[in-house]
Amino acid sequence: MLDPLFRQALQEALGRYPTPFYAYDWGRVAAQVARLREAFPFARLFYALKANPRLGLLRRLRALGLGAEAVSVGEVLRAYWAGFPPEGVVWNGPVKTEEALAAVRERSPVVVLDSEGDLKRVARHLPGARVLLRVNPDLPVRTHGHLATGRGESQFGVLPEAVPRLVRLAQEKGLHFLGLHLHLGSALEEAGDFLQGYRVLEALYPQVGPVAVLDLGGGFGLRLDLKALAGPLEALARLYGAEVWLEPGRYLVAEAGILVVRVVGVKATRRRYLLLDGGMTSLLRPALYGARHPVLPLYPREGREAGVFDLAGPACEAGDVLARDVPLPVPEEGEALAFLEAGAYGASMALTYLDTPRPLELLWTGEGWEVLREREPLEGLWEGE
């Protein structure tokens, strides 16, 4: 649930700013950092920019001592712009083009090698770069298929049997091999999935260890039992004599953020709809992988009739429904709703489809509202054409 002060400040924001907008509670992000640090006091944290890359968040996370994890050259350069040093940035991803590699030649981040071809390109363009090798643990991983990067059929990393040869190859090519990388997927709620992943690395130790770094990725679901991971994770690190790096995204920012929309109208076809001024272009997760976001009415409940609604955005797409069968007090036109747990992979996935500007993003600092990103101007949408 939302912090009462944040909840109160939202009413003020509704009077000042156009909807739809994202609002984030900085106190909640800082609290999540503290929770992860408490669970894994021995680990270095690298915030996964893809969850939410706003500079105002990045600068604050850097000030708390986090590094950054990037999955494109754009994110690497954004992290530098936010003040992260190259040694505090980890660059992941299966495709790193020659153009992208050339762009970081003068200031190379720590690069995660994702295949033999990737290794050779990195060695050519970034000689002597500090690298990790990403292991695809070939595990079932219980999460939505789009999010399960640790399955053997995904395009990520190298299978365990290829790891020892590629570690040698990286060293022969003059790369500075730091250690292994493992990222199982996103929104993982079962500690057992992580433990299986750690076992795969344990089995590789005789051929690969010791190493300086084990980067064990992100993927921590909001309801995951972190305590169940800490012991096995520390034991794995001890076995390898390695420092542990983690790359949380969702865990740090998801609950801190909400998408605020206004009700434009009520409509009935064979189903009963609330029509909203924001939809899938602002929050793609429901359409992309059936994600469910709790809905909170930001209007009075007292004296209202109860209804059950599907919540539809403005796009001419039957799939532009942010939630179905939501029990709500019947709103009046112009009243606002919030989609909760939208701070991760919400704004960062927003689209300009249908010439829809990406929404305004606001940060509640505890003392006031800060604009993290203006709503895109309409004219910006056809610039460059």
Ligand X SMILES: Cc1ncc(COP(=O)(O)O)c(C=O)c1O
Residues with active-site annotation: 316
- Please pick, from the candidates 19, 32, 52, 92, the single residue that binds ligand X as defined by CB under 6 A: 92
Write phi, then psi, for 338 (nearest 5 degrees): -120, 135
Q: Binding residue per annotation — 304?
A: no
> Mask of contacts with ligand X, 146-175, x by CB under 6 A?
---x--------------------------
Q: Does 91 bind ligand X (CB under 6 A)?
A: no
β-sheet bridge partners, residue 170: none
User: Total binding residues for ligand X by CB under 6 A?
Assistant: 20
- Residue 153 CA to residue 148 CA, distance in Å, equals 10
- Bridge-based pairing of strands 43-48 and 321-329 is unpaired
Q: Which stretch binds ligand X (CB under 6 A): 26-34, 98-106, 122-130, 246-254?
A: 246-254
DSSP state string for 308-325: EEEEE-SSS-TT-EEEEE
Of 158, 154, 150, nearest to 180 (Cα)? Answer: 158
- Residue 44 CA to residue 135 CA, distance in Å, equals 19
Q: Which stretch binds ligand X (CB under 6 A): 43-51, 273-281, 297-305, 370-378?
A: 43-51
For 91, residues 6+ apart whose C-beta sits below 8 A from its C-beta are: 70, 71, 73, 76, 104, 109, 110, 111, 112
Report in angstroms how near the CB of residue 59 gets to ligand X at its nearest. Answer: 19
Q: Which stretch binds ligand X (CB under 6 A): 52-60, 213-221, 229-237, 298-306?
A: 213-221
Q: Binding residue per annotation — 80?
A: no
Q: Does 143 bind ligand X (CB under 6 A)?
A: no
Contact criterion met (CB below 8 Å) for 143 and 187? yes
**Residue 153 parent element (H or E):** none
Report in angstroms how near the CB of residue 7 gets to ligand X at its nearest. Answer: 25
> Mask of contacts with ligand X, 324-363, x by CB under 6 A?
--------------------x-------------------
- Please pick, from the candidates 10, 68, 69, 280, the single residue that binds ligand X as defined by CB under 6 A: 69
Report in angstroms how near the CB of residue 181 gets to ligand X at its nearest. Answer: 8
Of 87, 171, 65, nearest to 123 (Cα)? Answer: 171
Report in angstroms how near the CB of residue 39 gets to ligand X at its nearest. Answer: 14
**Total residues belonging to the chain:** 385
186 or 282: whose CB is closer to ligand X? 186
Helices (H), the chain: 4-16, 26-39, 55-63, 73-81, 98-103, 116-125, 163-172, 191-208, 227-240, 250-253, 285-289
Contact criterion met (CB below 8 Å) for 86 and 109? yes
Q: Which stretch binds ligand X (CB under 6 A): 20-28, 44-52, 273-281, 307-315?
A: 44-52
CA dihedral in degrees (108, 113, 114, 118; nearest 10)? Answer: 70
- Please pick, from the candidates 54, 250, 262, 358, the single residue that binds ligand X as defined by CB under 6 A: 250
Q: Does 183 bind ligand X (CB under 6 A)?
A: yes
Q: Does 25 bind ligand X (CB under 6 A)?
A: no
Give per-residue burial for 37-52: e unless 16+ CB within 10 Å, then b.
Answer: eebbeebbbbbbbbbb
118 or 247: whose CB is closer to ligand X? 247
Of 125, 117, 123, 118, nearest to 177 (Cα)? Answer: 123
Report in angstroms how near the CB of residue 135 gets to ligand X at its nearest. Answer: 12
Q: ω before 20 within 30° of 0 (cis)?
A: yes
Report in angstroms how near the CB of residue 49 gets to ligand X at its nearest. Answer: 9
Q: Binding residue per annotation — 367?
A: no
Q: Does 233 bind ligand X (CB under 6 A)?
A: no
Q: Does 193 bind ligand X (CB under 6 A)?
A: no
- Please pick, from the candidates 247, 255, 277, 320, the single residue that binds ligand X as defined by CB under 6 A: 247
Interaction site with ligand X (CB under 6 A): 48, 50-51, 69, 71, 92, 149, 183, 186-187, 217-220, 247-251, 344
Q: Which residues are annotated as a binding site for substrate?
A: 250, 285, 289, 317, 345
